[in-house]
Amino acid sequence: MNTLWPIGQATVREIRDRLAYHRPRAYTTIMTIMDRLAHKGVVERRKAGRAYIYRANLSAEDARAQAVAQIVKNYFGGSAEALLTQLTARAGAALSSAAAAAVSVTPGPGPATAGVRNAAASPILDSEVSKHTSD
């Protein structure tokens, strides 16, 4: 779909050619995927000679909204708040990990150098420090 949305419509061959550089796939693999998407109503197809031309029935935004709705329904019991809590916790953990990696104990002559690393090495830590020191 990420290949089809920007170009609007395409044949299996055109889709495969656009994917070839990043994700090479067999023609029949792409054909099977597009056929399944057509049966599900995600794309529509029309015959043009011996090939089908596929066009997305959903915008990227609508597809994302449907995917998120399915995730909320299937994994979070219908609670968008539970999904948000999960995402917030993961983002917080990622920030904590980045901050921990940016601060290391460096041996030095005394307490002035303990726990300090080159601040320029961590833009995430720099932004967090700026928030708390700009008072």
Judge contact between 122 and 102, C-beta under 8 A: yes
Which among 131, 74, 93 is positioned nearest to 85, based on CA atoms? Answer: 93
For domain 4-58, the CATH class is mainly alpha
In tens, the pLDDT along 77-109 reads 999 999 999 888 888 877 777 777 776 555 555
Q: Which residue has the tokens 């089908």?
A: 52
Cα 115 to Cα 102: distance, rounded to the nearest angstrom: 10
Q: Which residue has the tokens 């539970």?
A: 82
In tens, the pLDDT along 37-48 reads 999 999 999 999
- Positions of CATH 1.10.10.10 in the chain: 4-58
Which pTM value belongs to this model?
0.58
